[in-house]
């Protein structure tokens, strides 16, 4: 069975609650595509108003991060149960900005992935190489290592239901997109890694996104690749362009 495309916006640290409501309103008619799963991953404080604002539409909501504990003395952190109760269904885990600025390691991210599943949240697990790694020719080895480490003790059934986002760090927010060949090559290698860890059926079922300056101009070509099942979109998710991506041309 063909995999359903999933187009997710990662708003990052943008949009106050009132701006968030206005953005949902602006995008409302533009993101209406019943053939595609559409997700807005938003700052924690925007989850409640955005869930309210997307009611009755095809859009689901995700968190951009979460903590690994159930509750307690972790000032400033957001528990998975809070995200679920607020009405979000997805959570981004291991974005390169969190790996870099907040020192999140694969060991820690593995705990987050397991915790997300425990609470019925669908993880959007991010991986990606730096420019130095690409130039050194170690991209595929690095990505395989990230995936294997982050998915320790995740069952095949869980893996089949999740989303992996391939985001080359050098393409994030730079306007520099990976070529379709580069993006397809890595997404294919991710699928092969899943087949290696689990089996073919799991690899066929998992959805793999490309992220890194995906926009209204390059989305059609990227989304036409056999192993690219969607996009994780930063900058362009805050603009009407996002609607064009959701309605990519086949
Ligand atoms: P840009 O689309 O702004 O490059 O960001 C990509 C990204 O990091 C999505 O998670």
For the residues 27-49, what does the mean pLDDT come to?
A: 97
**Is the pLDDT score of 228 beyond 80?**
yes
- Yes or no: say if 43 and 11 are a contact pair by the CB < 8 Å rule: yes
Q: How far is the CA of 72 from the centre of ligand 1 (A)?
A: 32
pLDDT at 64: 98
Mean pLDDT of the chain: 97
pLDDT band, residue 177 (cuts 50/70/90):
confident
Give, for ligand 1, the residue of 165, 211, 219 to mutate: max count of ligand atoms closer than 8 Å to Cβ.
211
Q: Which domain holds residue 98?
A: 5-246
**Is the pLDDT score of 106 beyond 70?**
yes
**Is the pLDDT score of 176 beyond 90?**
no
pLDDT at 1: 63
Counted domains in the chain: 1
Q: What are the distances in angstroms from CA 83 to CA 59, 62, 90, 146?
A: 16, 8, 9, 25
Q: Each residue of 195-221: pLDDT tens digit?
A: 999 999 999 999 999 999 999 999 999
Q: Is 68 exposed, middle or buried (0-12, 13-18, 19+ CB in 10 A)?
A: middle
pLDDT at 173: 84
H helices within the chain, ranges in order? 17-27, 47-53, 80-86, 96-101, 106-118, 131-135, 139-150, 156-161, 180-197, 200-205, 219-223, 241-246
> Which CATH number belongs to the domain containing residue 68 in this structure?
3.20.20.70
For the residues 9-17, what does the mean pLDDT come to?
A: 98
Q: Each residue of 115-141: pLDDT tens digit?
A: 999 999 999 999 999 999 999 999 999
Q: How far is the CA of 71 from the centre of ligand 1 (A)?
A: 30
Record the pTM.
0.97
Residue 95 a catalytic site member: yes
Residue 204 a catalytic site member: no
Range scoring the smallest mean pLDDT among 22-31, 147-156, 170-179, 235-244 = 170-179
**Is the pLDDT score of 25 beyond 80?**
yes
pLDDT at 175: 81
**100 in helix, strand or coil?**
helix
- Whether the CB of 176 sits within 6 Å of ligand 1: no
Q: Name, in order, each residue with C-beta under 8 angstroms of 7's C-beta and a sequence gap of 6 or more.
A: 36, 37, 38, 39, 230, 231, 233, 242, 245, 246, 248
> Among residues of the chain, what percentage have pLDDT more than 90?
97
């Amino acid at each position: 069975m063909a995999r359903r495309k999933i187009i997710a916006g990662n708003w990052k640290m943008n949009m106050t609650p009132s701006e968030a409501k206005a953005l949902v309103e602006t995008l409302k008619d533009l993101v209406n595509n019943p053939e595609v799963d559409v997700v807005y991953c938003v700052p924690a404080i925007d989850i409640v108003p955005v869930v309210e604002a997307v009611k009755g539409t095809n859009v689901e909501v995700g968190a951009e991060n979460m903590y690994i504990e159930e509750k307690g003395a972790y000032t400033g952190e957001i528990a998975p149960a809070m995200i679920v109760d607020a009405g979000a269904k997805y959570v981004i885990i291991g974005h390169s900005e969190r790996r870099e600025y907040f020192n999140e390691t694969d060991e820690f991210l593995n705990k987050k992935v397991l915790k997300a599943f425990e609470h019925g949240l669908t993880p959007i697990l991010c991986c990606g190489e730096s420019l130095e790694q690409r130039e050194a020719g170690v991209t595929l080895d690095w990505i395989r290592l990230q995936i294997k480490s982050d998915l320790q003790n995740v069952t095949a059934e869980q893996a089949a239901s999740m989303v992996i986002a391939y985001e080359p760090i050098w393409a994030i927010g730079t306007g520099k997109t990976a070529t379709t060949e580069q993006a397809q090559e890595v997404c294919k290698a991710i699928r092969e890694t899943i087949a290696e860890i689990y089996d073919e059926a799991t690899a066929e079922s998992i959805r793999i996104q490309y992220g890194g300056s995906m926009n209204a101009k390059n989305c059609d070509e990227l989304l036409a690749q056999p192993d690219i099942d969607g996009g994780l979109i930063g900058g362009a998710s805050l603009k009407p362009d996002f609607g064009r991506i959701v309605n990519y041309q086949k």
